[in-house]
Structure 1
Amino acid sequence: MFVIEDDIHADQMSKFEARADALVELRRLAAIPWDQDPNTAPCTNWRNCGREYRLIEYDTTTMPWREVASTPALNISAAGMRWLLPEG
């Protein structure tokens, strides 16, 4: 299982069975301006904040799920968009 999470706000955005599908969603998020949903940060200081998307892989055969890997993926803010994954 692959989860896209906003690391700053601990906001789980979406879940995917395949890494490729999660990357498609990250590319979609990268195409949305920082001040439009879902990229608008959920905090009251959203104009000066942003989203730091992280791609987290879980082993779902255990309960609770076991985190296998957690990788910074994409940052979006008023300062711009920055890919952190080579696949971006």
Structure 2
Amino acid sequence: MTPTIGLTEARERLTEILERVVDGEQMVVTRYGSPVAAIVPVPAELDDDRPLGLGAFAGAAATRPGLFQTVTEVVALRSVARDREPPEAG
């Protein structure tokens, strides 16, 4: 399972997280227990002519093993988080 980290902790440890991502690790950032972002390494072969939108996602999914699993985990975690009441503000 992809490691998760809370938003506040991610802010405090961003440099460390980015070092881990550079080494190939992926992280899911959560806010109030709900996944809001995935931090993943950038492919080394980026170019300016890459496709945008759904085509880009389809291409990324085809070339990145584990991306589909990460997206599946994020969707599953979001549905679990929606089953409970949000925390009280303030």
TM (normalized to structure 2)?
0.30
- TM-score normalized by the length of structure 1: 0.31
Which is helix-richer, 1 or 2? 2
Q: Give the structure with the larger strand fraction.
A: 1
**Who wins on radius of gyration, i.e. which is larger?**
2
